[in-house]
């Protein structure tokens, strides 16, 4: 059983057998947490929760301007579930209420579906506090709620208040909440609140950390790509050691189109496409070697990105030596970047400048070169990784490099 399957099985059992719990499902940015929830939900979670008579809803916090907007969506979706609206009506209502502000959603939903949301609000407003609680319990009791995009909430939504709302749902109505997030991206203020509140509120912490092969398989199965390409696509992605569901999807969506247009692509050309596509997703650049000046040697190409005022040959020789000695070293990126920077600084220090005026100019040059280095260091590393480590252009003609690069940049052929 894969890690993803184990997590899905555990999650289902926990949601069915436990009440009044808050579960946190965390993982790195782009690791496929939301995709996992939707796929697991469609494949299994929805069925088991329905069999256990536990209503269930999904709430994305992204785009919700206030805590009230989040509360309204929870109540609307929970009420819809409780009255067993048809799936078509439910989908329309929930999509509209998620997409538009509360006031806009009310107007649109009533026009499109004839469903009177004001009846829900009137029912609640007309009753006293005791009856409100009683009515709320009728459709919030034992509810399972998935709160997604936690770290993308509006800055106007107070994190402490949001946790308070979720905690109250758990305590007052025996609801189970699943919070999906990447806790590494909170700002400093929210991060302090988050770490303080989560220890008091969250009952179970789950880590979504699939193997690259597992995430690949989970997403690849959604596309109509001939299985004969699966191995070369997987192997190419593994070379970049990247775990990112969004990038995987972007590769597959574009490959579907590309392979239909150029069905005769070789494995080397497919590999070039995948590696270039990943680099484009990360840096928004492609390497067009065919457009660079003919007299550019490989060592000069890295300097092409930073336009240094000085390009000492000794710096490049050292880099090549360093690369040949450490090309399998885990910290080769750090070594290369540190060496480039130290050589830039060293070159200025060794220049004999007898006049103070010239020294001042030299200092200005160093400052400019270091700024340029910092600005383009990711491009320099991308070049070294793709060209020097992976040799990504191997067995790919200039013509096909140009075609693939143009497709990556433009999105069409």
Report d(CA 319, CA 324) in Å as an integer. 9
Report d(CA 312, CA 324) in Å as an integer. 19
Q: Which two tokens stand for residue 352?
A: 């004999």
Taking each continuous run of H as one helix and of E as one strand, the counts in the chain are: 19, 5
Compute CA distances 267 → 167, 279, 392, 395, whole Å. 53, 18, 12, 9
pTM of this prediction? 0.74
Q: Which of 267, 255, 184 is nearest to 219 (CA)?
A: 255
Please tell me the CATH code under which domain 3-210 is placed: 3.40.50.300
State the alpha helices, DSSP H only, in 21-143: 33-40, 46-51, 67-82, 87-99, 102-113, 117-125, 129-140
E strands, 277-404, in order: none
Q: Which of 63, 197, 69, 77 is nearest to 140 (CA)?
A: 77
Report d(CA 44, CA 12) in Å as an integer. 8
Q: Which of 180, 99, 176, 167 is nearest to 145 (CA)?
A: 176
- Asked if 228 and 198 touch (Cβ cutoff 8 Å), the reply is no
State the alpha helices, DSSP H only, in 152-295: 159-173, 188-201, 212-220, 230-240, 245-261, 267-283
Report d(CA 109, CA 112) in Å as an integer. 5
Report d(CA 384, CA 319) in Å as an integer. 10
Q: Which of 406, 409, 378, 401 is nearest to 272 (CA)?
A: 401
pLDDT confidence of residue 223: 95
Q: Quick one: how far is CA 159 from the chain centroid?
A: 21
The domain spans of the chain are 3-210, 214-410
- Asked if 67 and 157 touch (Cβ cutoff 8 Å), the reply is yes
Q: Quick one: how far is CA 244 from the chain centroid?
A: 6
Report d(CA 383, CA 285) in Å as an integer. 11
Compute CA distances 387 → 99, 173, 286, 382, 399, whole Å. 44, 58, 12, 8, 18
Which residue is it, tokens 């099985």? 9
pLDDT tens digits, the chain, 413 residues: what are they?
788 888 999 998 999 888 889 999 998 888 899 999 988 888 888 888 888 888 889 999 998 999 999 998 998 888 877 766 544 555 555 554 554 444 554 554 454 445 455 565 565 555 444 444 455 567 788 889 999 998 888 989 998 899 999 999 998 888 999 999 886 767 777 778 888 888 888 999 999 989 999 999 999 999 999 999 999 999 999 999 999 999 999 999 999 999 999 999 999 999 999 999 999 999 888 888 777 655 444 444 455 444 454 544 444 444 555 555 555 555 677 777 777 777 777 767 655 455 544 454 556 677 877 777 777 777 778 877 888 789 999 999 999 999 999 999 999 99
Q: Which of 221, 201, 112, 224 is nearest to 150 (CA)?
A: 201
pLDDT confidence of residue 275: 97
Report d(CA 233, CA 292) in Å as an integer. 28
pLDDT confidence of residue 279: 94
Query: 205 has which bridge partners?
Result: 24
pLDDT confidence of residue 306: 47
Report d(CA 65, CA 58) in Å as an integer. 17
């Amino acid at each position: 059983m894969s890690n993803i399957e184990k997590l899905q099985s555990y999650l289902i059992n926990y949601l069915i057998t436990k009440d009044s719990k808050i579960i946190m499902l965390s993982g790195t940015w782009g690791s496929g947490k939301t995709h996992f929830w939707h796929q697991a939900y469609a494949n299994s979670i929805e069925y088991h929760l329905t069999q256990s008579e536990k209503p269930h809803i999904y709430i994305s916090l992204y785009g919700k301007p206030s805590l009230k907007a989040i509360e309204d969506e929870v109540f609307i979706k929970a009420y819809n579930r409780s009255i067993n609206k048809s799936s078509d009506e439910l989908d329309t209502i929930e999509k509209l209420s998620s997409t538009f502000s509360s006031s806009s959603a009310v107007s649109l939903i009533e026009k499109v579906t004839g469903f009177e949301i004001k009846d829900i609000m009137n029912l609640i407003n007309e009753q006293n506090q005791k009856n409100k609680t009683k009515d709320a319990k009728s459709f919030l009791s034992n509810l399972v709620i998935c709160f997604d995009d936690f770290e993308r909430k509006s800055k106007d939504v107070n994190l402490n208040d949001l946790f308070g709302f979720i905690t109250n749902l758990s305590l007052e109505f025996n609801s189970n909440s699943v919070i999906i997030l990447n806790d590494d991206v909170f700002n400093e203020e929210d991060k302090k609140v988050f770490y303080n509140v989560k220890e008091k509120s969250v009952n179970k912490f789950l880590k979504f950390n699939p193997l690259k092969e597992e995430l690949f398989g989970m997403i690849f199965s959604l596309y109509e790509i001939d299985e004969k390409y699966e191995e070369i696509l997987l192997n190419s992605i593994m070379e970049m050691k990247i775990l990112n569901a969004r990038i995987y999807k972007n590769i597959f969506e574009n490959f579907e189109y590309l392979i239909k247009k150029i069905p005769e692509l070789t494995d080397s050309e497919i590999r070039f496409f995948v590696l270039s596509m990943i680099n484009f997703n990360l840096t928004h650049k492609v390497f067009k070697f065919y457009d660079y000046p003919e007299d550019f040697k490989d060592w000069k190409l890295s300097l092409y990105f930073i336009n240094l005022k000085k390009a000492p040959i000794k710096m490049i020789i050292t880099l090549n030596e360093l690369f040949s000695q450490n090309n399998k070293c885990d910290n080769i990126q750090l070594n290369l970047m540190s060496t480039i920077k130290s050589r830039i600084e060293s070159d200025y220090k060794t220049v004999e400048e007898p006049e103070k005026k010239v020294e001042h100019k030299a200092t200005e040059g160093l400052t400019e070169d270091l700024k340029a280095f910092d600005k383009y260091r990711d491009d320099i590393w991308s070049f070294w990784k793709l060209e020097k480590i992976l040799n990504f252009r191997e067995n790919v003609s200039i013509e096909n490099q140009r075609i693939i690069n143009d497709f990556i940049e433009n999105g069409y052929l």
